[in-house]
Amino acid sequence: MPKPPRKPASKPEKVAPHFVSIAVVVADRARAVQWYTEKFGLDHIDDMDHWQTVGTKGRNGVLHLCQVTEYDPKGQLEPGNTGIHFRLPGDFVASCDALKQRGVEFSSPPEKFDWGWGATVRDPDGNEIYLSPED
């Protein structure tokens, strides 16, 4: 007896996650909010007790500033490369100079590479953020 024809397997529905937030561990959330808004130039997006975020209004994604002592009273910061990458609008070197004038510390100043410009800044807790031109 012949087997009935198999139904074609249905394709699974496409799942497309979108970026919401990245946690940045800091020693003092209030100090971090101040640095990221006043010196680095981001907007204070959410102000809900523990949930303090900074980002750029009208753009997806925020940094969630997590105070280390809230989840581990003896927790230690792990300064260094966060893997976070921001793009700066306008003239890259001029934008970096403006950040420097506001007191942002560069762990790696603006540099021209074969593939383009880049720089690295450090927040007060030692978290490093990579910068490149928007265009």
- Supply the range of the domain harboring residue 52: 21-133
Residue 127 falls within a domain, yes or no?
Answer: yes
The percentage of residues in the chain with a pLDDT greater than 70, rounded to a whole number, is: 95
- The domain that holds 29 is classified in CATH as 3.10.180.10
Residue 16 falls within a domain, yes or no?
Answer: no
Residue 7 falls within a domain, yes or no?
Answer: no
Residue 1 falls within a domain, yes or no?
Answer: no
Instruction: Report the pLDDT value the prediction gives residue 77, as an integer from 0 to 100.
Output: 87
What average pLDDT does the segment 54-82 reach? 89
The number of distinct structural domains making up the chain is 1
Q: What are the angstrom distances between the C-alpha of 106 and each of 94, 97, 132?
A: 14, 10, 13
3-state DSSP call for residue 121? strand
Residue 116 falls within a domain, yes or no?
Answer: yes
Residue 8 falls within a domain, yes or no?
Answer: no
Instruction: Report the pLDDT value the prediction gives residue 134, as an integer from 0 to 100.
Output: 92
| Sequential DSSP letters for 43-81 | EEEEEETTEEEEE-TTSS-EEEEEEHHHH-TT-----EE
User: What are the residues whose beta carbons fall under 8 Å from the beta carbon of 77, sequence distance 6 or more?
Assistant: 25, 26, 27, 68, 125, 126
pLDDT digits (tens, 9 = 90+) for 17-27: 777 889 999 99
Say yes or no to pLDDT of 106 above 80. Answer: yes
